[in-house]
Amino acid sequence: MIENSMFEEEPDVVDLAKEPCLHPLEPDEVEYEPRSSRLLVRGLGEHEMDDDEEDYESSAKLLGMSFMNRSSSLRNSMSVYRQSSNGSCSLPSTRTMVVCTVILVIAVALIMVIYLLPKCIFTKEGCHKKNHTMELIYPLATNGKLFPWAKIRLPSDVVPLHYDLVLQPNLTSLKFSGSVKIVVNIIRVTWKIVLHSSGLNITKATITSAGGHQEKPAELLEYPLHDQIVVMAPEALLVGQNYTVNIAYSSNLSDTCYGFYKISYKDENSKQRWFAATQFEPVAARSAFPCFDEPAFKATFLIKIRRDEKLSTLSNMPKKATTPVTNGIVQDEFFVSLKMSTYLVAFVVADLKNISRETNGSLVSVYAIPQHINQVEYALNTSVKLLEFYQNYFLINYPLEKLDLVAIPDFQSGAMENWGLITFRESSLLFNSRTSSARDKKLITAVIAHELAHQWFGNLVTMEWWNDLWLNEGFATFMEYFAMEEIFPELHSDEDFLNLIFKAMMKDSLNSSHPVSSAVQSSEQIEEMFDALSYIKGASLLLMLKHYLTKDVFQAGIEVYLHNHNYGCAQSDDLWDSMNEITNGTLDVKKLMKTWIVQKGFPLVSVVRKGKIISVKQEKYLYLVEPENWTSDESYLWHIPLTYITSSCNFTHCTNAYLLDQKSAVIELPEEVEWIKFNVDMNGYYIVHYGEDWKTLIDLLKKNHTALSPKDRANLINNIFSLAGLGKESLEKAFELIDYLNKESSTAPLTQALFQLSLIYNLLEKKGEQQLAARLMHRIECLLGDKIDQQSWTDDGALSQRELRSTLLAFACTHDIRNCRTTATEMFEKWVNSNGTMSLPSDVMKAIFTAGAKSSDGWDFLLKMYSSSVSEAEKSKMIEALASTEDVRKLIWLMQNSLEGEVIRTQELSHIIATVSQSLPGYLLAWDFVKENWEKLTRKFHLGSYMIQNIISWSTSQFSTKAHLVEVKSFFESKSEQSSQLHSVKEAIDTIQLNIQWMERNLAMLQELL
C-alpha cells in the first residue's frame, strides 16, 4: 500500500475539463480502476484505499462545497427584508414571498437530488459507463503539458513487431548514443504511442506510415515517474496499419549493474580496462533504448553496434557483417532475432577470448577476458552435455545457430539467460582445476543447467506478466536439479535442493510470505518476485507434481505446454491445462495445483497411528506473531499428495500415495506396522507432525538409521526442530532425535543438523548467553568430534565425501573445535612462506584462509593475494575469510570498500555482509553499515532487488531483543513508503519477532538440556 503521506509534495495534476488538449481522448483513457486510478494519475502508483472510503471522501468534499454555496445564496436572498428607518422590519411583499418560496423549494430539491443520487457521481472517477465522457485527471509531462496516460502498465492499443537498434558505446567517455526504429501495429485507433524510457536524453522522434518514406515530426512527452514517454502522432493512427517510430537518444553507461553498464577490471599487465555489458531483467531494457518493456510485447530485433576496432561485440544472434564507419570505428551487424521479450535482449562490448564446440547444428562458445580463458573448458563441456539433454527431453531443438556463455568481471546475479548470449558472474562459470573445490564445481554446473533450461522456459515460452515469474524461475530451478541428477549423478545435487527447500519453507512459514503467483505492478514489486518462493517453492511444487503424476505423464505435459505456447506467452493456468490434456480427466491438475500457487504458506500434516488406522489432518503451518500481523488460517485448504513408507516395506518402489483434499481423513493400512514415515524423500512441500510416533522414529534412528534414506533422515531433523520452534514439540525431543548423529555418515542429515544447531548457537551468542552457547558447542563436539577427526586435509575421495569434509572442517575451524584451527594455521603459514605459490587442497582452502585471517598479518597478506589472484574460486574463499576477522576496523573497511567497488568488487557486498553478520563482533556493525549507507545501497542495487533482499535479511536475522525489533521497525518507517513496505523488511521484522519468541519459549529448556 502506498499512502500520500510519504510525499512532501504531490506532482502537479491537471483537470481535463479545464485544460485544452491538442488531441482527442480515446475510449480506453476513460476507463479507471476504482482502487488506484486517482492516485495513478497523480503519479503515485498503486494505492490500497478502500473503494468506499475513497468515494465517500470525494462526496463529502463536494457536498461541503454545495452547502457552502447554498448558504451564500440564502444570505443574499435575505436582503429582501429591509429595515425601516425606525429600526423595525417591514413585512415582505407578496412578490418577495413567492421568490423566497421558489428559492427554498429549489434548495430542498437540490439537497434531495444530491442525497438520492449515487455517490459515484461526486467522485473523480464518476460512475462507470463505456464511452462516457468524464472529467479526468492526468499527470503532467516534464515540459508541463498533459501526459495522456496514467497507468503503470502500457496500453494494449499499439504492439511492437520489430526493432532496428543502433548503438555506439564509448569506453573512453563512458557514454553511449543510439537510435531505434520500432515497427508497430495498431490494434485500436489512437493518436499516441506509449513506450518505456528511463534516463535517456531523447533528441529526435518521428513517425513514418506503412509504405511511406517521409518521416513526420512527432511531439514527445516524458513522464519519468513511470519511466514512460508518449510519441504523439500528427494524425490518427489507423487500426491494422503498421507505422515506424524513429527515436534518437544518448545516455551514460550505468555505474550500477543494471541496464547498459560499465565494468572496470585489470588486465594481465595490471592496466585498467573497461568492459560494457547489459542486464535488462526485469525492467532495465528501457534504460538502453526506448521500448515496450513488458514481457508480453514480444518482437524481433536487428542490432547494430559501433565499436573500437580493437574490441569485440556479442549479441543474441550470430554476427552478420562488420563494416568500417570512421577511422578506428567499425559497425557489427547481427542477424535478425527470433520473436522475444525486451528483457532478453543483450550485448557485450569488450576484449574477449573464447573456445567453441558445435553440437546439433549450434555453435556453443564460452567467452572470458584473456587472462581467464584457461578456466572455461569445464563450462564448455558441461554446456554441450546439458544442451543435448534438454533437446532430447523437451523434444524441441535449441532454435538458434549459436549459444554464447560470457564471464562478466562484475555481475550481481549468478547469471542471466539472455537468448543466445548468457551472461555469468565469473565465479559461476570459471573452473580452475587447482583452486576450485567440489562445491565450486557443483555451483558452476547448477548455474549453467539453470540458464540453459531458461532457453525453453522463459525464452521460448515466457510468462505473460511478472506475477507468474515462477513459470520461468521455478521451472528453470526444477530442471536444473533434474538435469544434474540425470547427467551428473556423482554431484548429488538432490541434497542441495533439499537444503534449499528447507530454507524456502522458513521464509514461507512467515506471515509476511506471499503466494507463488502474486499481483505486482511497480518495479519494486516486480524485483521482489525474484525470491526463494518463485525459485525454490516453485521448483519444489513441480517436483511434488512430477512424483504424483509419474515422470512420463509429467514430461508429456511439459512437451504439450512448450509446443502450445512456443514463441508466445503463458499464464499458470496454461501449464495446468497442458497437464490436463495428458491426464485426460483422470486428475484435475489445475484444481490440485491452484491450492499451492494462489495460497501463501504450506500445510502442517498431523499423523495419529492406532493399529492399522492412520488419521491425518491438515492445517496451515504458521508461527504466531503479533496479533495485528496475524492472518486467519481457517480458509486454507491444500490438495496434498501424501506419500508414505512403512516398516513392512521401506524401499522406494514401496512408496504409497494418498491425496488429502479435505481437512482430515483416515488411511487404513493392510496390516499393522512398527513405524510409518510420511513425505518420502521430502518430495512434498509440507511438514509432518507424528505426535506420539516421534518416539518410535527416534528409536528407529538409534537402532537402524539406514532403514530410512539420507533425505528422509534430514527431513525428520528439519521437521522436529521446526515443530519445536512452533511450540508443537519439545526441544528436548529434537535433541533426542539427533543423538544418533555419531553414527551418521551422509551429507544431507549432517548438514541439516549443523544448520539447525548453528541457528540456536547464533541466537544464544548474540543474546549474550555465552556460557550456554559454549555448552551447546560442547554438545555438538560430542556428537561430531570423531567425524571431524576422521577428515583428512586433502582433496581425496568422492565428490560427496569432499563436500562433507569442507562443511565439517569449516565449521570446526570457525568454532575452534578439536585441533582444526591449529592444523589450518600451520598450513596457512606454509602458504604465506611460499608467497602464495604453494598449492592448497581446494576443499579445505576456506577453512585454512579463515584460520589465517584471524591474525592481522595473515589478514593483510590475504588481501594482497586477493588483489593479484586470477582464480575466481580462490578469491571467493578469500573474501569469506577476510570477512570472518574479529578486527572491527577491518570489517568496516571491507564493507565500505566493497560498496565503492575499488579493491573489492561490488558484487561481493551481500556475501561480505552475510559473513560479517554471523560473528559476535560483526553483527551490530553490519546493521549499522546498512543504516548509514541505506541511500547509497538502494541507488546501487535498486529497491526490491535480490541484493537488497539479502542485505536486509542478513543484517537483521541475528536480532532477538525487543529493543532491536523497535530499532529495525523505526528505521524502515523513517524511510520512504516503498522501503517500509518491502516484503524483505516485513520478513525481517517477522524473523526478529520469532527469534524473541523462540528465546522466551526455549531458553529455560536449553539451560536444563545442556
Question: Number of helices (H) and strands (E), helices first, in the chain?
Answer: 31, 31
The residue type found at 980 is: S
Residue 395 near residue 377, CB atoms below 8 Å: no
Whole-angstrom distance, CA of residue 308 vs CA of residue 330: 7
Count the neighbouring beta carbons within 10 Å of the beta carbon of residue 322: 13
| Torsional sign, CA 317, 321, 325, 329 | positive
Strand ranges across the sheet with 664-668? 664-668, 613-620, 603-610, 687-689
Of 348, 364, 285, nearest in space to 313 by CA: 348
| Torsional sign, CA 948, 951, 957, 962 | negative
Collapsing DSSP states into helix, strand and coil, what is residue 962? helix
Count the neighbouring beta carbons within 10 Å of the beta carbon of residue 696: 16
Residue 139, preceding bond cis, omega within 30 degrees? no
| Torsional sign, CA 346, 349, 355, 361 | positive
Count the neighbouring beta carbons within 10 Å of the beta carbon of residue 404: 24
Strands (E), 132-227: 137-139, 158-170, 175-186, 190-196, 201-209, 216-217, 219-223
Whole-angstrom distance, CA of residue 629 vs CA of residue 622: 12
Whole-angstrom distance, CA of residue 304 vs CA of residue 320: 10
C-alpha distance across the termini of the chain, in Å: 46
Residue 138 near residue 129, CB atoms below 8 Å: no
Residue 459 near residue 417, CB atoms below 8 Å: yes
Whole-angstrom distance, CA of residue 468 vs CA of residue 534: 8
Whole-angstrom distance, CA of residue 980 vs CA of residue 232: 37
Angle between helices 572-583 and 469-487 (to 10 degrees): 50
In a 10 Å sphere around its CB, with 0-12 CB exposed, 13-18 middle and 19+ buried, how is residue 230 labelled? buried
Give the 3-state DSSP-derived string for 529-571, with helices as H, strands as E and coil as C.
Answer: CCCHHHHHHHHHHHHHHHHHHCHHHHHHHHHHHHHHHCCEEEC
Nearest 5°: phi and psi at 50? -65, 140
Q: Which helix (H) or strand (E) holds 231?
A: strand 228-237
CA distances from 580 to 260, 475, 479, 571 (A): 42, 18, 20, 15
Q: Which three cell numbers stand for residue 116?
A: 438520492
Residue with grid cell 520512504, as numbered in its chain: 976
Angle between helices 551-565 and 377-394 (to 10 degrees): 90
Would residue 610 be called left, alpha or beta, if left means φ above 0 and alpha means ψ between -120 and 50 degrees? beta
DSSP 124-153: SS-S--TT-----EEEBPTTSSB-S---SS
Of 449, 456, 631, 476, nearest in space to 539 by CA: 476
- Which residues are annotated as catalytic? 451
Residue 999 near residue 763, CB atoms below 8 Å: yes
CA distances from 499 to 504, 506, 736, 755, 895 (A): 9, 11, 22, 9, 28
